[in-house]
Structure 1
């Protein structure tokens, strides 16, 4: 099933009051799960037909996602999935540190269901890795970090991290091998959950800070290697 088929299958969920927002949700989900990659062109007519919406509705959905930095409109060419640049990467991690660290600090007050979401994301990632489904490991990792921020217990934070992690999925595509990038973080996700479950929130926050620092540095090296292929970038 292609991502267009996913849109067509979900069209029954659209309602008149928020059709454009719901179409934007569907497209954002396809970005988050890795089906839409940076540089992909979004065919307006095909999308309208799949979702059974008007061009005006689809263009409003596009506008919403352009505002979220997920799409770009190129004059006389169309609408494309955006590529996040190195400057955008640094800002994403800056905001993630704020939201996810606050989630870890609030974990002591979060209900059991909230922590169960963290555990479920860890287990989903481990199961996907065992089956060799490495793109799905990336999706589980996104859910893990969304669950960390959700420990704050704020709908606004939930919305912010959902948008941020959709951008992060675009960043993940900068890495050549999903396995090479995601595999080392599986154990770190498990360790962070174990620390939270044990109530050691200070250690969990230290682990999170180190984790995000390492991931940002690794991704930044990948950006530099792509932008300067004649230069070998060595890790410190």
Structure 2
């Protein structure tokens, strides 16, 4: 009889895979090799199958009978919903933030990292820094549940970005805007920073949806 898979190991491994997806190292539509991935992660194939089930339920992966497991490809409807959720979570978190919260240092580090990568034009890494910036905004809420939920949203968002042909067009404008939002917060105006973020998210949503329309 096969021993039961440890839930903690499956959940820990699922978190590692989410990180790979959020970093852009796994791309929409990519087929995942069970044997190779189990070896890379140092886990059994039984554990990996449980991880696949967890992430399939979250909509991050999809299972196709007789074909295998694939990274999910977001739809326009799912992207619209992601931005709706982001406005509901990020804007209030920033509006109610304490300017000296520990997460502000994480926001600053993410902004500085993105700025340092501009000359190299490493847009994938800049995209990751942008994700770190927004994750830090959610951390301002001091809610572990919101932070955990947002980690899933970030993965889905990164998958959506992975479908777009011009990452520079997507990410370059937000390097400066992230800096402006951070500055407004550090100056003691979280509500002003939140209004800037609201406008930012609406701009980002329009840009992403326009790019989706071109590839549809």
- Higher RCO by CA contacts (8 Å cutoff, separation 6 or greater): 2
Contact kept in structure 1, 2:100 and 2:186, CA below 8 Å:
no
Aligned with 1:53 (options 38, 43, 58): 43
> What does residue 24 of structure 2 align with?
34
Contact kept in structure 1, 2:59 and 2:72, CA below 8 Å:
yes
Aligned with 1:136 (options 125, 130, 135): 125
Contact kept in structure 2, 1:102 and 1:149, CA below 8 Å:
no
Q: Which runs of 5 or more structure 2 residues have no equivalent in the other structure?
A: 1-5
After TM superposition, the score normalised by the length of structure 2 is 0.94
Runs of 4+ deviating beyond 4 Å = none
Deviation of 1:17 after TM superposition, in Å, equals 5.7
Aligned with 1:166 (options 137, 142, 155): 155
- The answer to whether structure 1 residue 91 and structure 2 residue 74 are counterparts is no
1:17 to 1:175, Cα distance in 2 relative to 1, 3 A: closer
Q: Which runs of 5 or more structure 1 residues have no equivalent in the other structure?
A: 1-15, 228-236
Indicate the SS of the match to 2:59.
coil
CA RMSD in angstroms, aligned pairs only: 1.5
How many residue pairs get matched?
212
> What does residue 116 of structure 1 align with?
105
After TM superposition, the score normalised by the length of structure 1 is 0.86
> What does residue 7 of structure 1 align with?
none
How far apart in 2 are the matches of 1:19 and 1:44? Answer: 17
State the Cα deviation string for residues 46-92 of structure 1 (Å, max 9, x = none).
Answer: 11222232222101101111122110001110000001100000100
